[in-house]
Each structure stands twice: as structure tokens, then as C-alpha cells.
């Protein structure tokens, strides 16, 4: 397994492998079973698997958790090696964004859900991904469905800008009690961790209730009522949006994403499910 730490070395690697299929798994490190499932999917379908590990400063707002975001390079490398990764790219932020003036953004799709409270987030995500796509020229890139808005935005950007990359969605990996696996789960106190699976229970109630022609408000109420049984849960949003424009829908008469963000203390968790009519 190669470990590359600067852009020039990464681009040199790519030059030598133009004829091979490349699967890219972009991550911010602190790798867990969810990341491993993406890597395993990439390993099945590509000659070369590349994992990027980079806590990307441009997607964090001024009061967010960039400095304290969990990091464990040694553990990350071990997981990658055990999963059969060929290349790990671990760039230095100062080199990666040296005198950086160019950013990639998207209209409309960034303005709802997480984008309402994290206004610069998706500009940062799309900028770092554009750089990674240009450096490694992947055939396929793998994204977990837990970050559903991100997946939909990346898919649209790749189509609009003609990157020619296949964006592969992968199922949410969950703990035994249903909580979506996330690097941020480490922030939860013991009491908050016990409370957090209410998100999964609420979404499952929603999933069992949803049907074509249903009012979104009625579905949101079912999910909200379940979450509000847990005193430690502070709801940021529960929304039903279409999967093309990420706009709120009143009636469930098309494919939708049912998404939520909920705070437990200082920890913000997201979860979701997709529904096809």
C-alpha cells in the first residue's frame, strides 16, 4: 500500500495508471465500518482503490468542529491495508490549498437541509472533490447514503460538469441498535449515546407509514413525535424533499428523501431514508 502526502506525487501516480480503472473513496479519516464498506465495494469493481484521508478545512464554518474533529492516522492506515487499498492520499492542507482562489459551488441544491445552517459547507465539499477527481481521474467514486444531500449534490455536479465519473451510492451502515455509524458518534456522552438510536426508531416509523399521496406534514409529525419522546434530542430539521432539486414537497407524489438533523448536546447527527413512488 502506497502512502502519498503531496499533490505532485499523487498526480505522478495517476499518470502511470491511466489505463486502469480507479475507485476513489474520499474520507475525512477516523475510519470506521461505514468507510470500510465503501472500500470493499470499490475493491470489487476497480483495478486500483484510492482512499483520501483529509479533514477538509474549507467545508467547516467558523464555529464548527474542524480543530477537534477526530483523527487517528495509524488506525486509518491499518484499516485501509487490511481492506486491500492500493493508495492512501493524505495531503497537507497548506500545500493542498496553497494561495487558493478557486472554488466550486452549486445553485439551489445547497440551500436546503444541512445547507441552511452550514452555508459554506457544500462549496468546500465540491471544491475538495473536484481537486481529488482531477488528481486521480477515478472511474468510480463511492459515497455513503448517510450524507444524502452530499451524494445528490455530488451526483448533479459530476453530471453538470461532465466529469465522466460514476458516482456510486452505498447503504448506511448501522450499529446493532440502529444508530448510523459516524465519526462524530465519538463525541456523544454515555447518556447521549443511549438516547441517539431514537433517530433510527423514528425513521423506521416514518418508513412504515409513508405512502404515495401522503401529506409530508403528516409524515414529519410521525417522526417528530417519536423523537420528542427523548428529552436529550433537539431537532434541527425533519424534512421531505424531492431527489432532483432537494426542494420541500407537500404531497409525496414523486421519489423523495426523508432527512433529519438532530442535536444531542453539542453533537449534531444526521440520518435519512429514500422513498421511491
Cα–Cα distance between 104 and 5 in angstroms, integer? 23
Nearest Cα residue to 78 out of 48, 120, 35: 35
Task: Note the Cα 50 to chain centre separation in Å.
Answer: 17
Which pLDDT value is given to residue 20? 95
Please state the pTM of the whole predicted model.
Answer: 0.96
Which pLDDT value is given to residue 203? 98
Which pLDDT value is given to residue 100? 96
Which pLDDT value is given to residue 186? 96
Which pLDDT value is given to residue 83? 98
The residues that are catalytic are: 35
Cβ atoms of 23 and 45 closer than 8 Å: yes
Which pLDDT value is given to residue 63? 86
The low-confidence residues of the chain, meaning pLDDT below 50, are none
| Alpha helices (H) along the chain | 7-15, 33-45, 73-82, 93-96, 114-117, 121-136, 148-160, 190-195, 198-209, 216-227
Amino acid at each position: 500500500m502506497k502512502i502519498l502526502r503531496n499533490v505532485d506525487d499523487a498526480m505522478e501516480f495517476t499518470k502511470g495508471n491511466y489505463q486502469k480503472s480507479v475507485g476513489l473513496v474520499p474520507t475525512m479519516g477516523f475510519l470506521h465500518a461505514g468507510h470500510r464498506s465503501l472500500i470493499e465495494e470499490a475493491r470489487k469493481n476497480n483495478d486500483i482503490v484510492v482512499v483520501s484521508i483529509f479533514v477538509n478545512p474549507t467545508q467547516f464554518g467558523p464555529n464548527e468542529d474542524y480543530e477537534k474533529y477526530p483523527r487517528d492516522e495509524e488506525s486509518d492506515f491499518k484499516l485501509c491495508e487490511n481492506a486491500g487499498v492500493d493508495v492512501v492520499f493524505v495531503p497537507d492542507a497548506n500545500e493542498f490549498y496553497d494561495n487558493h482562489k478557486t472554488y466550486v459551488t452549486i445553485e439551489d441544491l445547497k440551500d436546503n437541509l444541512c445547507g441552511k445552517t452550514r452555508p459554506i459547507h457544500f462549496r468546500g465539499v465540491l471544491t475538495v472533490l473536484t481537486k481529488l477527481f482531477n488528481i486521480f481521474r477515478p472511474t468510480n467514486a463511492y459515497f455513503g447514503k448517510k450524507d444524502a444531500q452530499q451524494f445528490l449534490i455530488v451526483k448533479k455536479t459530476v453530471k453538470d460538469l461532465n466529469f465522466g465519473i460514476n458516482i456510486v451510492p452505498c447503504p448506511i451502515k448501522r450499529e446493532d441498535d440502529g444508530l448510523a455509524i459516524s465519526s462524530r458518534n465519538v463525541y456523544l456522552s454515555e447518556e447521549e449515546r443511549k438516547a441517539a438510536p431514537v433517530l433510527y426508531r423514528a425513521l423506521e416509523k416514518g418508513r412504515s407509514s409513508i405512502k404515495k399521496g401522503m401529506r409530508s406534514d403528516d409524515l414529519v409529525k410521525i417522526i417528530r413525535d417519536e423523537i420528542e419522546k427523548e428529552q436529550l434530542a433537539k431537532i434541527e430539521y425533519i424534512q421531505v424533499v424531492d431527489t432532483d432539486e432537494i426542494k420541500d414537497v407537500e404531497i409525496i407524489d414523486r421519489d423523495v428523501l426523508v432527512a433529519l438533523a438532530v442535536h444531542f448536546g453539542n453533537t449534531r447527527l444526521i440520518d435519512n431514508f429514500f422513498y421511491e413512488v
